[in-house]
A = this chain, B = another copy of it.
């Protein structure tokens, strides 16, 4: 029911599939997961059930004897929440996070420049 429920790691991964595929059955979701780390059918079923309880997905319709599920929250708001929580750990400040990203090589100077340009442009448009 929560607008931005707290999702666990496994739930998040499942949501990614659901956002990607849209309306899906438990079977489809399970088979979409690469075989190497594919959990049992009922494991996926349990996770989808929990996602439903949390208001992250809803049943859209029925096909055969199976339910189809669709997202009830957006990827955006979910990721947003994740990041907000990380920022909180960092005492509310975002720059240390970016510094770490740079140091770990995950974010290059070039990435920064692109982001900066994009942002300048957006700002221009807005004014």
Q: What is A's interface to B at a CB cutoff of 8 Å?
A: 9, 12, 79-80, 82-84, 86-87, 89-90, 94-104, 106-107, 109, 111-116, 119-120, 123
Contact = CB atoms under 8 A, between A and B. Distances in A.
A98 to B, nearest CB: 6
A83 B101 contact: yes
A84 B38 CA distance: 23
Nearest to A99: B115
Contact of A97 (B9, B90, B101, B120): B101
A116 B123 contact: no
B115 A100 contact: no
B89 A86 contact: no
B109 A112 contact: no
Contacts of A104: 80, 83-84
Contacts of A83: 86, 97, 100-101, 104, 106
A116 B113 contact: yes
A95 to B, nearest CB: 5
13 contacts: A9-B89, A12-B89, A79-B90, A79-B96, A86-B86, A87-B106, A94-B107, A97-B101, A102-B119, A109-B116, A109-B119, A109-B120, A112-B116
